[in-house]
């Protein structure tokens, strides 16, 4: 099968067909779907109208999609990173806060970080030096874990030199 450029969307029926094709592949956030439709040439008001219709009929659900997103990402990333990813997808801030609170608490974040850190520390024959500790701190901060929690977990799992 060869790649073909996506057909430009000019009618409501084409927009609806494209929307269902996107949703058949994976769940989408409303803003994400509207953006994809407008990028293919659909009128912005048409894409918004279709998004509202799909929500009303239960085909789009930002809350459910946020939960799926969080569950799929939380084994590697902390809540700050996931929050920023969801904001970038234009998910409502209240919805993000609710979904994160449902799937993350400090104890769970600590357990996830502990597991990831143990995997990294297993590569060192002895405790990491200051440069390596800073690298680990940066890595996990970029992954969205709390710097305070990273330091606490690092200190609990290593001997400082």
Concatenated DSSP letters of 92-151: -HHHHHHHHHHH--HHHHHHHHHHHHHHHHTT-SS---HHHHHHHHHHHHHTT--HHHHH
Domain membership of residue 2 (yes or no) is no
Domain membership of residue 123 (yes or no) is yes
Domain membership of residue 7 (yes or no) is no
Look up residue 72 and give its two tokens: 């799929």
Residue 151: per-residue pLDDT: 93
Same-domain status, 126 and 95: no
Residue 159: per-residue pLDDT: 62
Residue 100: per-residue pLDDT: 94
Taking the C-alpha atoms of residue 124 and residue 56, their distance in angstroms, rounded to an integer, is: 54
Structural domains in the chain (count):
3
Same-domain status, 92 and 117: no
Question: What's the pLDDT tens digit per position in 90-127?
Answer: 999 999 999 999 988 889 999 999 999 999 888 877 88
Helix 93-103 vs helix 79-88: crossing angle, to nearest 10: 150
Residues in the chain where the model's pLDDT stays below 70: 1-6, 159-161
| Domain enclosing residue 150, as ranges | 106-157
Cβ–Cβ < 8 Å for 70, 103: yes
pTM for this structure? 0.83
Domain membership of residue 143 (yes or no) is yes
Domain membership of residue 49 (yes or no) is yes
């Amino acid at each position: 099968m060869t790649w073909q450029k996506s057909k430009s969307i000019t009618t409501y029926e084409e927009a609806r067909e494209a929307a269902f094709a996107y949703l058949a592949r994976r769940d989408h956030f409303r803003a994400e779907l509207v953006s994809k439709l407008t990028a293919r040439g659909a009128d912005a008001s048409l894409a918004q109208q279709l998004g509202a219709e799909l929500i009303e009929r239960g085909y789009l659900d930002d809350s459910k999609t946020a939960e799926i997103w969080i569950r799929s990402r939380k084994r590697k990333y902390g809540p700050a990173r996931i929050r920023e990813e969801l904001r970038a997808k234009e998910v409502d801030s209240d919805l993000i806060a609710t979904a994160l609170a449902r799937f993350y608490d400090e104890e769970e974040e600590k357990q996830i970080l502990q597991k990831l850190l143990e995997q990294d520390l297993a590569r060192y024959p002895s405790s990491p030096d200051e440069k390596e500790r800073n690298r680990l701190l940066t890595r996990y901060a970029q992954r969205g874990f709390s710097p305070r929690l990273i330091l606490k977990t690092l200190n609990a799992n290593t001997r400082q030199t």
